[in-house]
């Protein structure tokens, strides 16, 4: 099913056939934006549907309607429309094509489903016939997609959790934000379609951890490079190849975010392969990260003061001895009572199933990774003690991170 249905009107100063109009559209748009955005190529890949033309002859002119199904994203669909409007001739005659409407097919389908559900409820409740307006209102409330809020001086589309969270997910557009909100990701904000990174995003990057979550296409590649040139980016996540964040399912979003790669690690790998642009971006990102550390000495001091109030009981040293070589983890509550002992490979999955503040401390025979720290911080875990520590790019100020060597 197409995402959008483009409807345009055409007027030709002469009598022509439908195939003449279609031929003019293909011929006069060919190669304008390279092979990857050629109309025939887009049709072959299923990203643009069959062009339908309906015409009639009036006073020696050909007047009609053009309908084009589009599976492109909003930006690409807008470009396609502008490209088609650039057609100026059909055969020997002057012609003019003008957009009439863009129908969001998915929203129309949702509307039809809601109306049908209301009809079903009417039949179902014949004993006490409900008010159809009230039924529709209730259905719309239950199926309502959360609306983004305008955030910052630039009024960027965002979720209500941007200020509350220490991590912000940056996506491309409003539709991406809506899809993320639908699945409970409230710490999300869109770039807003500007050519340059806005001051709102730049200010957020100075005080929060940034995850760049972009479409899995060429446009996403370009936007990522622009972000890396302008702000500190902590993690990079991408939609599956050829897919857009606005169309991802809940599972696809989860998988994409789980595969998020630390920015420095991502760029170092590309730089080692000989990518000169990646080397340039790596230097920029290193500079951003160093500047951020210099700007936050007071925060580091405050963190130490907070962590000094935490007392680790002596029995934990015995627990460490029992863990050596087991690849297991011990979970503690706030009274330092053992809640669970599980394999290290199941640790992140386990944390994702518990409520916030349910786990107080984690002791495990494994490597402390950034992914574990992020999940633990989200669940408000206070202490992590592991056998070793990998390269960490961000340490939450309310989480104490130690290795076995620190306690033995």
Residue 225 pLDDT level (bands cut at 50, 70, 90): very high
Choose between 75 and 394: higher pLDDT: 75
In this structure, of 15-24, 36-45, 49-58, 110-119, the range with the lowest mean pLDDT score is 110-119
State the CB neighbour count (10 A cutoff) for residue 335.
7
The CATH fold assigned to 309-407 is Cytidine Deaminase; domain 2 (3.40.140)
pLDDT of 305 higher than 50? no
Q: What is the pLDDT of residue 297?
A: 38
In this structure, of 21-25, 139-143, 233-237, 385-389, the range with the lowest mean pLDDT score is 139-143
Average pLDDT, rounded, for the chain = 84
Q: What is the pLDDT of residue 281?
A: 93
Q: What is the mean pLDDT of residues 190-209?
A: 86
d(C-alpha 14, C-alpha 11), whole Å: 9
- How crowded is the C-beta side of 88, counted as CA atoms within 13 Å? 1
d(C-alpha 366, C-alpha 124), whole Å: 57
Q: What is the pLDDT of residue 186?
A: 85
Choose between 123 and 33: higher pLDDT: 33
Choose between 36 and 258: higher pLDDT: 258
Residue 141 pLDDT level (bands cut at 50, 70, 90): low
In this structure, of 34-38, 203-207, 269-273, 381-385, the range with the lowest mean pLDDT score is 34-38
Q: What is the pLDDT of residue 300?
A: 32
Question: Which one of 3.40.1180.10, 3.40.1350.10, 3.30.70.600, 3.10.450.50 gives the CATH number of domain 4-103?
Answer: 3.30.70.600
Judged on CB neighbours under 10 Å (0-12, 13-18, 19+), 38 is: middle
pLDDT of 137 higher than 70? no
Q: What is the pLDDT of residue 374?
A: 84
pLDDT of 171 higher than 90? yes
pLDDT of 102 higher than 60? yes
Q: Delimit the CATH 3.40.1360.10 region(s) of the chain.
A: 149-294
Please, are residues 254 and 245 in contact by the beta-carbon 8 Å criterion? Answer: no
State in words which class domain 149-294 has. alpha beta
Q: What is the pLDDT of residue 303?
A: 32
In the chain, % of residues over pLDDT 90: 38
- Among residues 248, 71, 70, the alpha carbon closest in space to that of 172 is found at 248
d(C-alpha 276, C-alpha 264), whole Å: 15
Q: What is the mean pLDDT of residues 10-31?
A: 92
pLDDT of 75 higher than 70? yes
Q: Delimit the CATH 3.30.70.600 region(s) of the chain.
A: 4-103
Q: What is the pLDDT of residue 181?
A: 86
Q: What is the mean pLDDT of residues 209-221?
A: 91
Q: What is the pLDDT of residue 62?
A: 95
Q: Delimit the CATH 3.40.140.20 region(s) of the chain.
A: 309-407
Containing H/E element for 47? none
pLDDT of 113 higher than 90? no
> pLDDT digit string (tens) for 264-301?
999 999 999 988 999 999 999 998 888 765 544 333 33
pLDDT of 388 higher than 90? no
What is the side-by-side order of every strand in the sheet holding 188-190?
149-151, 156-158, 188-190, 167-171, 209-214, 235-238, 261-262
Q: Please, what's the largest Cα pairwise distance for the chain?
A: 96
Task: For residue 7, report the phi and psi dihedrals to the nearest 5 degrees.
Answer: -120, 125
- Among residues 50, 48, 67, the alpha carbon closest in space to that of 10 is found at 67
- Among residues 1, 45, 42, 5, the alpha carbon closest in space to that of 25 is found at 42
Residue 76 pLDDT level (bands cut at 50, 70, 90): confident
d(C-alpha 37, C-alpha 30), whole Å: 9
pLDDT of 208 higher than 50? yes
Pairing of strands 156-158, 149-151: antiparallel
In this structure, of 114-128, 186-200, 307-321, 343-357, the range with the lowest mean pLDDT score is 114-128
Q: What is the pLDDT of residue 109?
A: 78
Two tokens, residue 178: 């809506």
Q: What residues contact residue 243 under an 8 Å CB cut-off, 6+ apart?
A: 215, 216, 252
d(C-alpha 273, C-alpha 271), whole Å: 5
pLDDT of 139 higher than 90? no
């Amino acid at each position: 099913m197409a995402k959008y249905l483009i409807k345009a009107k055409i007027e030709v100063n002469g009598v022509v056939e439908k195939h003449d109009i279609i031929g003019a559209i293909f011929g006069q748009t060919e190669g304008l934006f390279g092979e990857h955005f050629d109309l025939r190529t887009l049709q072959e890949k299923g990203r643009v549907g069959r062009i339908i033309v309906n015409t009639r002859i009036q006073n020696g002119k050909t007047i009609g309607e053009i309908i084009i199904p589009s599976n492109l994203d909003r930006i690409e669909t807008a470009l396609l429309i502008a490209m088609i409007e650039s057609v100026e001739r059909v055969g020997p005659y002057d012609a003019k094509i003008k957009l009439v409407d863009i129908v969001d097919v998915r929203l129309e389908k949702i509307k039809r489903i809601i109306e049908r559900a209301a009809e079903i409820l009417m039949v179902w409740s014949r004993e006490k016939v409900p008010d159809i307006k009230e039924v529709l209102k209730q259905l719309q409330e239950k199926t309502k997609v959360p609306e983004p809020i305008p955030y910052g001086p630039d009024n960027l589309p965002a979720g209500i959790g941007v200020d509350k969270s220490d991590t912000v997910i940056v996506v491309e557009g409003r539709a991406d934000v809506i899809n993320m909100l639908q699945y409970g990701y409230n710490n999300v904000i869109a770039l807003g379609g500007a050519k340059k990174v806005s001051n709102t995003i730049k200010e957020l990057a100075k005080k929060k951890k940034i995850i760049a979550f972009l479409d899995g296409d060429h446009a996403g590649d370009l936007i990522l490079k622009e972000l890396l040139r302008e702000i500190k980016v902590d993690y990079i996540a991408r939609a599956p190849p050829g897919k857009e964040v606005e169309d991802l399912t809940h599972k696809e979003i989860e998988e994409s975010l789980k595969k998020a790669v630390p920015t420095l690690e991502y760029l170092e790998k590309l730089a080692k392969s000989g990518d000169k642009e990646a080397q340039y971006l790596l230097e920029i990102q290193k500079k951003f990260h160093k500047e951020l550390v210099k700007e936050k000495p007071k925060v580091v001091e405050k963190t130490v003061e907070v962590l000094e109030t935490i007392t680790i009981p002596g029995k934990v040293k015995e627990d460490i001895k029992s863990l050596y070589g087991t690849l297991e983890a011990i979970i503690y509550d706030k009274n330092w009572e053992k809640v669970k002992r599980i394999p290290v490979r199941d640790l992140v999955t386990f944390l994702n199933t518990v409520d916030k503040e349910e786990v107080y401390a984690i002791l495990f025979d494994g490597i402390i990774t950034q992914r574990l720290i992020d999940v633990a911080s989200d669940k408000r875990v206070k202490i992590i003690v592991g056998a070793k520590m990998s390269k960490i790019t961000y340490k939450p100020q309310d989480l104490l991170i130690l290795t076995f060597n620190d306690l033995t």
